[in-house]
C-alpha cells in the first residue's frame, strides 16, 4: 500500500528537525519537531481503485465538503463549510483571508474572455482537452500577506491522455498522519467529478509533496497504524445524472464496501 510504504520510508530514512528553530508548536508550547522526506511522489490509478485509507477511517463526506467549499463555492469563509477544521485560522467574521477559494473566484483575462480559474479549467477540458496548459494555482504571491494560512495543496496540472483525465497535485507541506489521505481522497474525487462533466474517464492522480513529514508526537501512532491489516479498496459510486460541476453535492458520492480499522482518537495537532 502506498501510504504504508511512504510512512516506512519517512521513518527509516527521513531527516529530523531536532536542533532547528521550527515554527510549529504543540498546545503545551513545546516545539513540534518532525522527521521528513523531501519531494515524495505518490501515484494513484483512479481507474483501478479509489485510494482511501483502510487502516483507519477517512471521513470522505467531510473531505468532499471541504473540497467543494474551495473548488465549487470558491469560498474563504468557514460559515459556508460544514466542519470545524478551519476554525483556528478564521477571523471573527469567519474569513481565512485571501486564501484557497478566494483565489479560485478571482477572474482573469484570457484571449477567449474573462474567467475564474475553475471556469477556465472546465472550458479547456470541454473545448481543448489536449492542451498542455491546463493549470490551476492558488499560490498567489501578491496576496500571501492577506492569507491566514499559505495554501498547502496549492496547484493542479491536468493532462488528458486518450480519454483519461490525469492530474498532478502539488503540495508544499503535509502532516502525513493528519492530512495525507484526506487530501488524496478529496482530490481523487475532484478528478472523478471533472472527468464526468467533461465526458472523460478518471485516470491517474499524482501527488507531489515537497515536505512530507511526521511529527515527533505522531511517530508511535504512525508505527501502530502501519502495522494494522489493510482491507480491499471500496468502490466510489457517483451520481451519473450530474452533468454540471456546480450541481454536485456531498450526497452524490457513496462508498460501497468501505471497511477500515478503528479510528485513532485525540491526535495532537501542531499549530
Q: Is 262 helix (H, G, I), strand (E, B) or coil?
A: coil
The 10 Å Cβ neighbour count of residue 104 is 21
pTM (global) more than 0.75:
yes
**Whether 7 is catalytic:** no
Binding region for dUMP? 132-133, 172-175, 183, 213-215
* Domains, the chain: 2-175+189-256 (3.30.572.10)
The 10 Å Cβ neighbour count of residue 21 is 6
Residues 125, 152, 153, 177: which is the catalytic one?
152
- Band of pLDDT at residue 238, cut at 50, 70 and 90: very high
Which residues does 210 contact at the CB level (< 8 Å), separation at least 6? 38, 39, 170, 171, 172, 173
Cβ–Cβ under 8 Å, residues 76 and 99:
yes
Query: Per residue in 118-147, pLDDT tens?
Result: 999 999 999 999 999 999 999 999 999 999
**Interatomic CA distance for residues 47 and 87, integer angstroms:** 35
Binding region? 59, 132-133, 172-175, 183, 213-215, 270
**Grid coordinates belonging to 24:** 510549529
Q: Cell numbers 459510486 label which residue?
A: 237
Query: Per residue in 83-105, pLDDT tens?
Result: 999 998 999 999 999 999 999 99
Amino acid at each position: 500500500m502506498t501510504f504504508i510504504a511512504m510512512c516506512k520510508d519517512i521513518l527509516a530514512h527521513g531527516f529530523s528537525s531536532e536542533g532547528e528553530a521550527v515554527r510549529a508548536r504543540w498546545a503545551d508550547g513545546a516545539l513540534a519537531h518532525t522527521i521528513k522526506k523531501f519531494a515524495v511522489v505518490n501515484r494513484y490509478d483512479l481507474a483501478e481503485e479509489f485510494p482511501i485509507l483502510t487502516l483507519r477511517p477517512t471521513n470522505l463526506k467531510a473531505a468532499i465538503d471541504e473540497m467543494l467549499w474551495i473548488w465549487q463555492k470558491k469560498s474563504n469563509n468557514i460559515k459556508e463549510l460544514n466542519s470545524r477544521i478551519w476554525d483556528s485560522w478564521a477571523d471573527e467574521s469567519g474569513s481565512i483571508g485571501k486564501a484557497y477559494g478566494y483565489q479560485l473566484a478571482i477572474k482573469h483575462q484570457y484571449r477567449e474572455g474573462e474567467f475564474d480559474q475553475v471556469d477556465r479549467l472546465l472550458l479547456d477540458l470541454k473545448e481543448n482537452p489536449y492542451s498542455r496548459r491546463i493549470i490551476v494555482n492558488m499560490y498567489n504571491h501578491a496576496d500571501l500577506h492577506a492569507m491566514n494560512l499559505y495554501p498547502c495543496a496549492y496547484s493542479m496540472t491536468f493532462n488528458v491522455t486518450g480519454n483519461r483525465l490525469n492530474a498532478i497535485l502539488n503540495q508544499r507541506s503535509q502532516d502525513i498522519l493528519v492530512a495525507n489521505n484526506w487530501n488524496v481522497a478529496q482530490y481523487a474525487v475532484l478528478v472523478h467529478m471533472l472527468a464526468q462533466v467533461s465526458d472523460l474517464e478518471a485516470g491517474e492522480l499524482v501527488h507531489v509533496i515537497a515536505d512530507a513529514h511526521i511529527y515527533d508526537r505522531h511517530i508511535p501512532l504512525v508505527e501502530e497504524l502501519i502495522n494494522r491489516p489493510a482491507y480491499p479498496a471500496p468502490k466510489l459510486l457517483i451520481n451519473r445524472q450530474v452533468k454540471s460541476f456546480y450541481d454536485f453535492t456531498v450526497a452524490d458520492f457513496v462508498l460501497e464496501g468501505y471497511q477500515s480499522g478503528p479510528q485513532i482518537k485525540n491526535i495532537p495537532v501542531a499549530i
